[in-house]
Amino acid sequence: MRRLPFFYGWVVVAVTFVTMAIGVNARTAFSLFFPPILSEFGWERGVTAGAFSFGFVVSAIVSPLIGRLMDRAGPRAVMELGVALMAGGLLLAPLTSQPWHLYVTIGVMVGAGSICLGYSGQSLFLPNWFIRRRGLAMGIAFAGVGIGSVTLLPWVQRMIEATGWRTACTAMGLMVLIVLAPINLLLRKRPEDIGLRPDGEAAPHPTAKKPLSNIIDPAWAAIDWTLPRALRTARFWWIALGYFCGLYIWYAVQVHQTKFLLDIGFSPNLAVWALGFVSLLGIPGQIVLGHLSDRIGREAIWAIACAGFAICFGALIALKYQPSFVLIYLMVFAQGALGYGLTSIMGAVVLEIFLGPHYGSIFGCIMLASLAGGAAGPWITGLLHDLTGDYTIAFAIGIAVSALSAIAIWQASPGKVRAVAGRLHHAKAGAGS
């Protein structure tokens, strides 16, 4: 491959940024298609919305398989499969005339495609390209979701209003196919595949001083981590618990906050504004916290992000008793600028503990737990509201789950296996003393 004037890893980041912007928001756009589909067919809300929920189930089932495919065939195969599934689902959805058509297209095809093109698929290979700037690179790449939500979703809504949901759905399908299919051919699994080194480092000169290793626990790092071996470790289950709780709190508040704000008397415009600004603040939040994780460690940033969600839940509880714009601002900031930082280190935590040729399979299984949390959070929160008549207990449980998530990742302690760049000299000094 011809040498570029900059590190090829940033090309990978750029491709991931665009893929996330389009791929993740193409699935999110279902919430915009939902009202006109209901109006046209008159189906029950539960039956119609079930197509999106069914997509979550499909994602959970497919996640370990995608990990295995990544280990065997690499990112181009996984991403192009995701493009084919998602574009196919979006292009076929306008032919819908029965509820099961939505379940096949939006549920199975778009759901399975999104696991390839979204956080799970990208986290399977992007961390390979960086060591010193891993958190920063992933924060930038995943900020594409926020950019896509504030640009693509309003465009889709305008198209629905002007030409109908079928035309908008077709346009999204064509965008996925035309934009994402060619650019994802640029991907490679790791820099060594094209003669490079992580972070764009030059190959060491034979007489040069040996570079400082980031390995803190050589015995752990020397193990060939297969999925069965990983499953027998406490660290695997601590990560699985931490990620389950992480997506539990993420989707519990995301799904229910708008309805809660309406219930306590805020206007629909403010409720929609709050949700939009959470995504907007998530853009700098992911980048800054991802970069900071390269300096102070993944565990600390995961704890900060969980604290963001805990503050968010606390502000929501307080809003019921003292409605104020100050609490709204606090809730939006804590959720977006802090909470959304979880995504920038999800891949790094697992990679730094279970680095090896079977990382994809291990990460895929952990994402199974994550997606289960994403499904459980909204459901349990809604169930508790139905049983108690309000959200207070559900949001209080959200605070406890936030704390449990932070504790679990501290227990997994990736920093005790491999040090981040900012802690490398400190860790080595401690080991030598």
DSSP string of 345-358, one letter each residue: GHHHHHHHHH-STT
| Contacts of 170 by beta carbon, 8 Å cutoff, 6+ apart | 90, 91, 94
Please report, in angstroms and rounded to a whole number, the separation of the first and last CA atoms in the chain. 45
Query: Is residue 330 predicted with pLDDT exceeding 70?
Result: yes
Q: What's the Cα-to-Cα distance from 37 to each of 96, 102, 350, rounded to whole Å?
A: 10, 10, 40
Q: What is the pLDDT of residues 200-252, one digit of tens each?
A: 887 655 555 556 688 999 999 999 999 999 999 999 999 999 999 999 999 89
155/339 Cα distance (integer angstroms): 27
CA atoms within 13 A on the CB side of 52: 17
The pLDDT confidence band at residue 426, using thresholds 50, 70 and 90, is low
Q: Look up the pTM and report it.
A: 0.87
Rg (CA), the chain: 22
Query: Is residue 378 predicted with pLDDT exceeding 90?
Result: no
394/81 Cα distance (integer angstroms): 38
Q: What is the pLDDT of residues 251-271, one digit of tens each?
A: 899 888 888 898 899 888 888
98/94 Cα distance (integer angstroms): 11
Query: Is residue 432 predicted with pLDDT exceeding 60?
Result: no
Identify any residues that bridge with 418 across adjacent strands, giving them in sequence order. Answer: 215
Q: What is the pLDDT of residues 61-79, one digit of tens each?
A: 888 899 999 999 999 999 9
High-pLDDT (> 90) share of the chain, %? 68
| Conformation bin of residue 403: beta by default, left when phi > 0, alpha when psi is -120 to 50 | alpha
The arithmetic mean of pLDDT across residues 379-404, rounded, is: 94
| Contacts of 6 by beta carbon, 8 Å cutoff, 6+ apart | 200
Residues comprising the chain, all counted = 433
**Cβ neighbours, 10 Å, residue 358:** 19
